[in-house]
Amino acid sequence: MTEQATSATTAAGAPVAGGNAGMHSDYLEVRGLSVEFDGFTAVSNVDLTLFQGDLRFLIGPNGAGKTTMIDAITGLVPATGSVQKSGVELLGKKVHQIARLGVGRTFQTASVFEELSVLQNLDIAAGAGRSIWTMLRRRPVEVSASIEQALETIGLTALRDKPAGTLAHGQKQWLEIGMLLVQDASVLLLDEPVAGMSQEEREETGNLLRRIGGERTVVVVEHDMDFMRNFATSVTVLARGAVLAEGSVAEVQADPAVQEAYLGTAAAAGEEDPTGSAPEPVAPGNRVAPSVGPEEHRPSDSSPEAGAQRDHTGPALGRNGQGG
C-alpha cells in the first residue's frame, strides 16, 4: 500500500484479507483508481485487492468516494488507473461487458420488475444472454437448477409465485441479490444493502451475505456500524476519496486516524453513532471534509449515465446483461 493507508494495513503493504480470502485464484485488483468530475477529485489513487471469500466493507463519511468507486469499477463513470478481475482489465469496458465477466452490483434502492413474480424476475435475469424479443415473449418459466438454488439461498422459495411488488423492503433487496446469483456473478458490489431495513431484516441480510460470500467476493458499501461489526471479515476506510485505513474490524476501530477522521470523539469514548453518520471534524487538520464529497458530484440514478443501464430491458438486465 501507499502512504494513503494507515497502520491497519499489513506491514508488507498487502491488503488484509478476511474469511476464506486468498484460498482461490479469483480476485479483484484495483490499482491507482482515480475519478474526477469537472476538476473535482472524487476518488484519488485508490489501491485495493479483494480475494474470493472476502466479505469486505467499505466505510467512510458521506462524500468519501465509496459509491463513486464501485460506479467506476462497474463502468458507470469514467476513471483512470486499473481494475482487473482475475487478470482481465475492466476499465474501458461497457457496463454489460463488465457484468458478463462476473461483476454485479446493486443500488441503494432495489430495482425489480414489480408486476412479475419472484420466479419470473429470476428467470429474466438468468436469461440475460437471450434477445430482448425472446425475453418479452410470453413463455413458460424455465426453473433451472440455478434458479432453484438462488431461491433457496435468498430465502424466497415459499414466495416464488408472489408478485415482486408485494414483497417487503428487505425481500426485494434479497431478490435483487438473487438476480445477480443466477447470472453467475462472482464479484458482488452492494451499495448500502440494509438501508431502511428492520433489525430482523438486517440480521437475515448479513446471514445471506455470509452464505454467498464463501465462493464469491462480496463488497458492501455501508454506514451501519453495527452491521459492519457483526458481519465484515475485513474493512476498508475511505476519506476524501483515498484509502485511510484497512484491516480487520478490530484493527480499524482501534486506528486513531479512523477514530479522529471518521468516527470522531464518540468512537474514542466507545459510543459510536449507531447511524454511522459522519460527525463534524473534531480538530483542525481533520482528514475529512464534512459536507461536500464525490457522491454529490457523481451521476444520480436518474441521470443519463446511470439511466442508460436500465432503459433497454429493465432493472436486472440493464445493469447486468443487455444495457450497453
Residue 184 backbone class (left: φ over 0; alpha: ψ -120 to 50; beta: rest): left
- Mean pLDDT on 52-80: 95
Measure Cα distances from 124 to 116, 154, 163, 169, 268 in Å.
10, 17, 14, 21, 49
Q: Please indicate whether residue 136 or residue 58 has the higher confidence score (pLDDT).
A: 58
> In sequence order, what are the beta bridge partners of 88?
85
Strand, helix or coil at 194?
coil
User: CATH homologous superfamily for 27-320?
Assistant: P-loop containing nucleotide triphosphate hydrolases (3.40.50.300)
pLDDT of residue 259: 86
CA 73 to chain CA centroid, nearest Å:
10
Residue-wise pLDDT tens digits, 134-154 = 555 555 666 889 999 999 999
pLDDT of residue 260: 83
pTM over 0.85: no
pLDDT above 60: residue 42: yes
Residue-wise pLDDT tens digits, 238-290 = 999 999 999 999 999 999 999 887 655 444 445 444 334 333 333 333 333 33
> Are residues 314 and 116 in contact, defined by beta-carbon separation less than 8 angstroms?
no
- Mean pLDDT on 180-196: 95
- Segment holding 289, helix H or strand E: none
- Mean pLDDT on 81-100: 96
What residue segments make up the domains of the chain, in order of their start? Answer: 27-320
Q: Please indicate whether residue 306 or residue 68 has the higher confidence score (pLDDT).
A: 68
Q: 27 pLDDT band (50/70/90 cuts)?
A: confident
> Are residues 161 and 147 in contact, defined by beta-carbon separation less than 8 angstroms?
no
Q: 299 pLDDT band (50/70/90 cuts)?
A: very low
Q: Please indicate whether residue 117 or residue 284 has the higher confidence score (pLDDT).
A: 117
